[in-house]
Amino acid sequence: MIPFNRPPFLGTEFNYIKEAVNNQKICGDGEFTKKCNAWIEEKTGTAKALLTTSCTHSLEMAALLLDIKPGDEVIMPSFTFVSTADAFVLRGAKIKFVDIRPDTMNIDEKLIEQAITDKTKAIVPVHYAGVGCEMDTIMDIAKRHNLKVCEDAAQGVMSEYKGKALGAIGDYGCYSFHETKNYSMGEGGALLIKDEENAELAEIIREKGTNRSRFLRGQIDKYTWVEAGSSYLPSDMNAAYLWAQLQEADMINNNRLASWDKYYKAFEQLEQKGYVTRPVIPAECKHNAHMFYLKAENIDVRTKLISYLKENDILAVFHYVPLHSAPAGQKFGEFVGEDKYTTKESDRLLRLPMYYGLKDDEIERVIDAVNKFYKG
């Protein structure tokens, strides 16, 4: 059976976990958390990076930092994971869903402005499959309307848009280190903060609303409760696990990209014959091979193809059910404008097995099976 995902694992994770345990400090903000934060800051150029317990929690922190209040509106695509919306719904926001572009499956930047009202507070672009949204346009819209931008870059670690790291372009950026993502700590994430002046409040929110981070740096004599907050910092054992993978980030990235390229080349003919559509990577984007998807003609063909692959011991999956069609999406949000592509294109999409260490013979088997399906 070729699984759909294998969590990234190198072996060196054990060494660092042992070190973390030997340090006798496996609670949050130990040595490995600091190393991971510094790595993200250096790699992305963001003013401040803070490891968190999940991307969902990074998004929640961003919603708190943006001071989202009941009645505020937040703009995002409907084609995304539930967490993108949940984080803002928890603060009482109303979600305004905007249609996607059929080429990248990202929010259609040209449709954002029509969704803006005097209640709009933020735009939340999602970099689907680690391929960047049209960020110049989005940042320009935000600037003109005095809105904040929070990037859901859960899938975008190591990806770039016009040479800038995804997650480090908007006011806030949210990474995921869940085991289904390119770099893993089991459950985990990071919040990227673009402006230094927002870093202190972020630290406070992450540390139960206290100024403990300043205290630990020796900047104050005792720490106290200063704001509303929660606990969003991961154990240093988890950070140690992630650290092993960040040190090999280029190797992991190149390995994934090589697999992605093999799929991409192999399906050129099926695309020319009009059977499938392959992913589109805009010229200004450098992606990270987070996933390889194909789009079948319609949902019926997709269902048959997934079943056929399963009969051949290959696990392919689909996602997402557009949020505006889910019960909570109807309760907490609304689609603005016409759903021209969100439902239609998500119905067509299937993800093929893609993970670090995917073997050539496995890739061949997947390619052969898809080709055989279309010959039949």
Q: Give yes or no for a contact between 191 and 52, defined as CB atoms under 8 angstroms apart.
A: yes
Q: Which of residues 35-94 bind ligand PLP (CB under 6 A)?
A: 54-56, 80-81, 83-84
Minimum Å distance from CB 53 to ligand PLP?
Answer: 8
Helix (H, G, I), strand (E, B) or coil at 29: coil
Out of 33, 37, 44, 155, name the contact with ligand PLP by CB under 6 A: 155
Question: Does residue 189 interact with ligand PLP by CB under 6 A?
Answer: yes
Cross-strand partners of 77? 98
Query: Which region among 17-25, 102-110, 152-160, 227-235 touches ligand PLP (by CB under 6 A)?
Result: 152-160
Q: Give yes or no for a contact between 155 and 128, defined as CB atoms under 8 angstroms apart.
A: yes
The residue written with tokens 């929660």 in the block is: 230
Question: Does residue 176 interact with ligand PLP by CB under 6 A?
Answer: yes
- What CA–CA distance (Å, rounded) separates 262 from 139? 34
Q: What's at 121, amino acid-wise?
A: K
Q: Which of residues 291-320 bind ligand PLP (CB under 6 A)?
A: none
**CA triple 329-331-332, angle to 5 deg:** 70
Residue 154 or 352: which CB sits closer to ligand PLP? 154
Give every CB contact of residue 152 below 8 A, 6+ residues apart in sequence. Answer: 55, 59, 76, 80, 81, 83, 84, 124, 125, 126, 127, 174
Residue 126 or 158: which CB sits closer to ligand PLP? 126
Minimum Å distance from CB 214 to ligand PLP?
Answer: 27
Residue 125 or 210: which CB sits closer to ligand PLP? 125
Minimum Å distance from CB 180 to ligand PLP?
Answer: 7
* Residues found in the chain: 376
Q: What is the dihedral of CA 304, 309, 312, 315, to 10 degrees?
A: -130
Question: Does residue 104 interact with ligand PLP by CB under 6 A?
Answer: no
Question: Does residue 159 interact with ligand PLP by CB under 6 A?
Answer: no
Residue 84 or 245: which CB sits closer to ligand PLP? 84
Please tell me the count of residues contacting ligand PLP according to CB under 6 A: 14
Out of 126, 147, 246, 363, name the contact with ligand PLP by CB under 6 A: 126
- What CA–CA distance (Å, rounded) separates 73 from 228? 21
Question: Does residue 277 interact with ligand PLP by CB under 6 A?
Answer: no
Query: Which region among 150-158, 229-237, 247-255, 356-364 touches ligand PLP (by CB under 6 A)?
Result: 150-158
Identify the CA nearest to 131 among candidates 4, 264, 246.
Answer: 264
Out of 121, 178, 286, 302, name the contact with ligand PLP by CB under 6 A: 178
Residue 184 or 211: which CB sits closer to ligand PLP? 184
Residue 212 or 324: which CB sits closer to ligand PLP? 324
Q: In the chain, count H helices and then E strands.
A: 14, 13
For 251, other C-beta atoms within 10 Å of its C-beta total 12
Helix (H, G, I), strand (E, B) or coil at 56: helix
CA distances from 190 to 31, 62, 149 (A): 16, 11, 16
Residue 173 or 212: which CB sits closer to ligand PLP? 173
Half-sphere exposure of 239 (CA within 13 A, CB side): 28
Residue 56 or 235: which CB sits closer to ligand PLP? 56
Interaction site with ligand PLP (CB under 6 A): 54-56, 80-81, 83-84, 126, 152, 154-155, 176, 178, 189
